A and B are shown apart, each in its own frame.
Chain A
Amino acid sequence: MKQKATAEVAASQKSHIPASQSQAVHRGKVKYDKKAESEFFVDNSALAGFTGERILYMAVRELIENSLDSCENNHILPRISLSLKNLDSANDMWVITCEDNGIGIPSDKVPVAVCSFLTSGKYVEKQQRGLFGVGLKMIAAFSTKDTDHPLKVWSKSSEDDSEYYFELRTDISTNRPIVLAKKQLGEGRVSGQSGFRIEAILRARLSPITKTRIYDYISQTSVVNPYAILEFETDEGKVVFDRRTSVMPEPAKEVLPHPSDMDLKTLKKAIMNFMNQKTTLQGVLSESFQKMSGEKAKEIIANAGVENKQADKYDEHELIKIVNVCKQTKFHTPNTDHLSPIGEEILTAGMTSEYTIISSRSENQPDGNSSPQISVKVLKPSLTDYSSRTCVINNRPTIVECGIAYGGDISSFKLHRFANKIPLLYDEGSDVAREVVSEVEINKMGISKKEVKEQFANPDAKSDRAVELLPLHIFFHICSTKIPYKTAGKESIASEGDLKRYMKACLSDLYRKVSAQIRKELRMKEAQSRLNLYKFYIPLIVNAISESISVDSKKLEQAFTELAEKHVSGEITGHPAEEKEDEITGNRLEKEVSVDQAINAARKKGSKSKENLQTTLDAVIPKKKVK
């Protein structure tokens, strides 16, 4: 429509009619067009996040998220290879390729699934990464719009006997796929039993910021998907994120809507589903909504003051009464089967070896042309912990998960935010998680702001907030079928309802849980700096003495060093009382001891198998239950 409008303006200008007159001529001639979904989304690409600099970032996101959903929903341990390479730098052409070992798409559905907007297998009430079935179509449409290359797709669906190859373009004006080629392949590209591979050419700029975002996105995705192997290749090299656990989250189940969320549309749709079955409204209600027993349905119909008859015999006036009663009735809180939290085990696996892509310029280039190379850095913190809460936000059950990783290879503060397992990278400042971090008192960790500022003084720190001086990574994951995003860009979460209160509770839990360890680390750190001080000064003192009097300087230095070490360790064990004060931390200490004992015991048995060790550990550490 926009294009047509411009054409008309151009035409009117050509005819040299003054603008005012031209308007007069066209008055009363408004033209009503129907626009194809594809055209609408291409014209309003910002709705799907495909704007300017973000195109490649969004393409990477959409492809990885589709692949993860395709694997996870079907209990397949994901293996995803993504490549982003420059094809023609003069024209900003990029080839993006993504291959997974998911269930693939049946050959007869591939063209619409790839090209037709608003065609999706995801329109159900359960937590998924993608919801609208727009991302892949956006890539197809942009590729069609900006290049003369077809989209290449290889799909090996578990429903098909063999792999199929497609060359596709989108007919943007009709939202229909154009199939340029379709071949059944004997020997396919896809290596596993099933899988999906797509190759698209896109025209886009890759600014350094976007590049960093893409790297961050992939790094953070691996934190919450440690059961996935992620391969990522760019012009700067290739990195592989290993699989760190074979435990996968329980896939989300599709659930019935909750009655408090009912409206006229959902009710009518429910009744439609029972069309021709002569079911009563009571039957429809109890079959179509969760937490709705036959008894309860009967009560609602009675309260609405309408008679119980065959479901399709009601008019809208009667139905809205039912809806109104449901809104006012208290039901059990919705169940959370349709949510798929990351879980303690998986998030812990992700946190204990946090993979990060780093881009560095290699110095050994003989030609002096030092292009940056990417590599993987693995951060192993000295401790991690996990906490979660289930709550209802906006009538939707919501699970808040929080993880914390401290010390070890971690050298600075970082806040990681995830919504339905998708990393949120933009707009951190306005996210509720940011407020939570600044509002939870750091002294819950057993350390004061002053201590932190003394011990962790860091000239590179971006903020002088005490918590941001700590070598601490905080992870927040919110999962819900309706995340309270602040903006259409879906990059920050609003402080809706009690969400913030639950998030604060999680973080406070963790601060308390890690306090004993952090205090211990602080003491160790201080002891180390004391020992260093002795190490530095003892030779000077010994030298001064041995120059003045005849003395065995080696023995003197040894005696002094031993004394210093004894002295420092005496100072550390000098305050054991603090640790026993807190019940939680006390438990934790005991737990640590028994873990050590378990490991030692396992080692003594000569058992080399990790499983054995794991069983021993499982026996010692009581599994925490997610309420």
Chain B
Amino acid sequence: MPVKDTRHQEVVKKVKQIMKDVSTDLMQQKTMPVLDVPKVGYDNTVWSDKKKMLTIGDKMVKISPDSTKKIPTFAQYLVMANAVRRLLDEEMESTIRGMYYATLSTVGDEKNKQKFWRGQEDSDDAIKALELLTGVPREEFSVTSKPKGMISGPITLRVGGDVIDCNLGSRATSQLIPTNIRDVEIVDVKADFVMLVEKDTVLNNIRKSGFIQKYNAILMTGSGEPDRATRMMARTLNEEWKKPVVVFADADPWGLGIALRYKIGSESLSYDSDRLVTPNAKVLGMMFSDIYEYNIPEVARLAASEEDINRALDMKKKPWFQDKQWQKELDLFLKRKEKCELDAFFKHGFKYLAEVYLPDKLRQAGVI
């Protein structure tokens, strides 16, 4: 507990420093205060060949009440900073949605009334800005999101005071990956490798087949776009526990994108890649070529949309996609214009995915 307090105190101290700088500017310097926030987004995301991940560039955004357009943003950042300070003073924790509600208000008079936040996205952005301003991830100041990642397999976690054996449910259920990662500690990992899949439906199918017991694996899913806790869990298991991490997603540009979140990171969280990305993860499937290798019947294939095509064309140019194998896969996709979900293997039987396809792929990759 005392450890936690010092971490919190550090955040509170940083918030107070921001406030102090602003008030000094206003009262002593008589100048408009400026918050320098690193820019987040596609135009400030840089591929690091050394780290093999997406990192944030050095572009900064100046948020100052100097400009009329930025006044609301400036106010939002300070209001959010103060709200986080209150949260920590009260030793409470909150979800990002909770922070949104805690700071809801209206601005203006009767004639010109408007909402302080246009929506939760605004408030999420303010939290992100605070992370960037303090250099502390929000989990460290007890602001989390709703858990959605799932884990199942021979791994034991300690959350707060409770010990959770994720293998307990065996074939029955999975454990949600806690988002208050500050409070989560990995006690023991008995598995040989970690397998990430795109969707929870696929995870459930694999778990039910007894895959975990047979191959001594940990199954994880981000249920679509993975949250930070799920990505962080994958990284910790790989970096600290030295477990190989493999990823399976749908054979379409979208699924490929999700698989890459784990492996190289994302533009919107590029500033936190060091904490979230698992560069050693191997994206094993589902390859576009698998559609034809494994004779997925035509009825289970989907036609690529124009958006899919554009995404694939875009991906082909990316520095992290220059591997010959991947270029071939994308070319195949662009030629056939067909995509496929992992669920399509159910057409070959409910156990086909877990008992034929996955072991095949894992064996080829030398994981089992």
Task: List residues of chain A with CB within 8 A of the CB of B112.
Answer: 532, 536
Chain B interfacial positions (CB closer than 8 Å to A): 15-16, 19-20, 22-23, 26-27, 30-32, 65-66, 68, 71-72, 74-75, 78-79, 81-82, 85-86, 105, 107-109, 112, 116
The distance in angstroms between the C-alpha atoms of A563 and B32, with both chains bound, is 7
Docked-complex contact A544 and B78, CB < 8 angstroms = yes
Instruction: Report which of B65, B85, B108, B109 forms a contact with A541, defined as CB distance below 8 A.
Output: B65
Q: Which A residues touch B82, using CB under 8 A?
A: 543-545, 547-548
A244 to chain B, nearest CB (A): 32
Structural contact, B71 and A534, CB atoms closer than 8 A: yes
Interchain CB contact (< 8 A) of A537 among B22, B32, B72, B109: B72
Interface contact B30-A563, CB-CB below 8 Å:
yes
> Is A564 positioned at the interface, with any CB of B under 8 Å from its CB?
yes
Q: How far is the CA of A559 from the CA of B112 in the complex (A)?
A: 24
Can you offer 9 A-B residue contacts whose CB atoms are under 8 A?
A537-B71, A540-B75, A540-B107, A540-B116, A544-B78, A545-B22, A547-B85, A547-B86, A548-B85
> By the criterion CB–CB under 8 Å, are B26 and A560 in contact?
yes
| Interface contact B79-A544, CB-CB below 8 Å | yes
> What chain A residues lie within 8 Å of B31 (beta carbons)?
563
Q: How many residues of A contact B (CB 8 A)?
A: 22
Q: How far is the CB of A552 from chain B (nearest CB, A)?
A: 8
Within the complex, what minimum Cβ distance (angstroms) separates B127 from chain A?
A: 14
Is the CB–CB distance between A548 and B16 below 8 Å? yes
A30 contacts B by Cβ under 8 Å: no
Residue among B27, B75, B108 making CB contact with A556, cutoff 8 Å: B27
The contact of A567 among B16, B32, B78, B109, by CB within 8 Å, is B32
**Cβ A541 vs Cβ B78 within 8 A:** yes
Please name 4 further chain A to chain B contacts, defined as beta carbons within 8 Å, in addition to the given A541-B74, A548-B15, A555-B27, sorted by A numbering. Answer: A532-B112, A541-B65, A545-B23, A547-B86
Q: Report the separation of the CA atoms of residues A27 and B78 in the bound assembly, to the nearest whole angstrom.
A: 100
Given A532-B112, A545-B23, is A559 in contact with B30 using a C-beta cutoff of 8 Å?
yes
Question: Beta-carbon contacts of A517-555 to B below 8 Å, as 1s and 0s?
Answer: 000000000000010111011001101110111010001
Contact A549 B26 (CB under 8 A): no
With both beta carbons as reference points, the residue of chain B lying nearest to A571 in the complex is identified as: B68
Contact with B along A223-255 (1 / 0, CB 8 A): 000000000000000000000000000000000
> Given A533, A540, A560, which contacts B68 in the complex, CB threshold below 8 Å?
A533
A-B pairs with lowest CB-CB distance, top 9: A544-B82, A544-B78, A548-B19, A537-B75, A545-B19, A536-B107, A559-B27, A536-B108, A549-B19
A540 to B107, CA, bound (A): 9
- Bound together, the chains give a CA A421 to CA B91 distance in angstroms of 79
8 Å CB interface, A119-171 against B? none
> Separation in Å of the A425 CB from the closest CB of chain B?
33
Contact flag A534-B107 (CB < 8 Å), given A544-B79, A548-B16: no
Partner of A534, one of B22, B65, B86: B65
Which residue, B20, B22, B31, B79, has most C-beta atoms of chain A within 10 A? B22
A532 and B108 contact, CB distance less than 8 A: yes
Q: How far is the CA of A412 from the CA of B105 in the complex (A)?
A: 33
Q: Which residues of B contact A551 (CB under 8 A)?
A: 19, 23, 27
The answer to whether B66 and A540 have CB atoms under 8 Å apart is no
A548 touches B79 (CB 8 A): no
Assess A559 versus B26: contact at CB under 8 Å? Given A537-B71, A547-B86: yes
Residues in B with CB closer than 8 Å to A567 are 32, 66
A366 CA to B253 CA in the complex, in Å? 72
Q: Is the CB of B86 within 8 A of A541?
A: no
Residues of A within 8 A of B71 (CB): 533-534, 537
Choose one: B16, B32, B65, B86; the contact of A549 (CB below 8 Å).
B16
Kindly supply a per-residue 1/0 record for chain A positions 563-585, scoring 1 wherever the CB is within 8 Å of any chain B CB and 0 otherwise.
Answer: 11001000000000000000000
**Residues from chain B with Cβ under 8 Å of A541 in the complex:** 22, 65, 74-75, 78-79
Identify which of A533, A543, A544, A560 gathers the most chain B CB atoms within 10 Å of its CB: A544
Do A530 and B68 contact each other (CB < 8 Å), given the known contacts A549-B20, A559-B27, A563-B32? Answer: yes
The CA of A290 and the CA of B109, in the complex, are separated in Å by 68
B263 shortest CB reach to chain A, Å:
39
Contact of B81 (CB < 8 Å), options: A537, A548, A555: A548
With beta carbons under 8 angstroms apart, the residue of B32, B78, B108 that contacts A545 is B78
Kindly list chain A residues whose C-beta atoms are within 8 Å of the C-beta of B78: 540-541, 544-545
Contacts of A532 in B (CB 8 A): 108, 112
Partner of A544, one of B19, B20, B27, B108: B19
For A559, what are the chain B residues with a Cβ–Cβ distance below 8 Å? 26-27, 30
A543 to B22, CA, bound (A): 13
Residues of A within 8 A of B30 (CB): 559, 563
User: Nearest chain A CB to B182's CB is how many angstroms away?
Assistant: 22
**Which A residue sits closest to B15, measured CB to CB?**
A548
